[in-house]
Amino acid sequence: MNQLKNKDLDLATKAIQVARNRLDIGSKEYRMLENIEGREWKVRADRELESSILTVLRQGSNYPILSEESGLLPGEGNRQWIVDPLDGSANYFRDVPFYCISIGLWENQVPLLGAVLEIPSNRLFIGIVGVGSWCNGEPIKMQVESPAISSTAVLCTGLPAGFEYSRKNIEALVSVCRHFGKVRMLGSAALMLCYVASGRCDSYWERQIAFWDVGAGIAIVQAAGGEVRLGEMGANMRVDVEAASCKSLLVSQVHSG
């Protein structure tokens, strides 16, 4: 890992560290809840961390940037940064230890790399597709048994802010969950994907999750050798996502069976 050189990954990790340092300095005031719109919670840290991240990324590259707070910012070329300055804002506000900074890089709708910092534990997950994935410099790998059996697997999922709590959707969620041995809803899509990549969990599935929530995590899963499937991206930048340590544990495979 010490010999791995990638300027874009270096830039992403630098942006994450700058944002983390800013969070440490202003942590108390940054926990202030500024807005609740529907089921979307915004704290001051969301925009403060984004400001730090965008400054660093702009200094080191001219790629377009898609960020949760500012939307799509113009740039040059086919590569695009995907930024969630604080994934798990409600967890951060309530001091539930599942929140992170997430930065991914995609090119022509294809993930290239991702970096996710689990803030409470200071664990940095990184991955370059086609090269590998690491956590704090150590290679990570998935838990794959042969044959993989969903009844002994752990599924990560969630209820995104835009989720419609209709009877139909709730029943569909329960129908999926009953195929797995355990189900976890942790409130951070980026971290749940990193947990799949590192073997802590086995499968992830979420409907109409915001793209910035999963952009980095998807790259890390793929870099670790996992399977990922995306639905069609909506105009609101929300998408159905499933990921797993192996094809047989993808929700579409388990549920169809």
In CATH, the architecture of 150-256 is 3-Layer(aba) Sandwich (3.40)
Handedness of CA 234, 237, 240, 245 (dihedral sign): positive
- For residue 145, the model assigns a pLDDT of 66
Q: Whole-prediction pTM value?
A: 0.94
- For residue 195, the model assigns a pLDDT of 98
State the virtual CA torsion across 41, 63, 17, 228 in degrees, nearest 10: 70
What is the CATH code of the structural domain delimited by 7-139?
3.30.540.10
Q: Find, among 245, 249, 246, 244, the residue nearest to 149 by Cα.
A: 249
- For residue 2, the model assigns a pLDDT of 39
Where do the structural domains in the chain lie, given as residue ranges? 7-139, 150-256
Q: Which amino acid is at 83?
A: V
- What does each of the 257 residues of the chain score in pLDDT, given as a tens digit? 434 569 999 999 999 999 999 998 877 899 999 999 888 899 999 999 999 999 999 999 999 999 999 999 999 999 999 999 999 999 999 999 999 999 999 999 999 999 999 999 999 999 999 999 999 999 998 877 656 789 999 999 999 888 888 999 999 999 999 999 999 999 999 999 999 999 999 999 999 999 999 999 999 999 999 999 999 988 889 999 999 999 999 999 997 64
Taking the CB of residue 37, how many other CB atoms lie within 10 A of it? 8
- For residue 249, the model assigns a pLDDT of 95
What CA–CA distances, in Å, run from 11 to 62, 80, 81, 146? 12, 13, 11, 38
Q: Cα 219–38–171 angle (5° rounding)?
A: 70
Q: Six-digit token pair at 211?
A: 């793209």
Query: Residue 135 is inside which H or E element, if any?
Result: strand 132-135
CB-CB contact of 247 with 227 (8 Å): yes
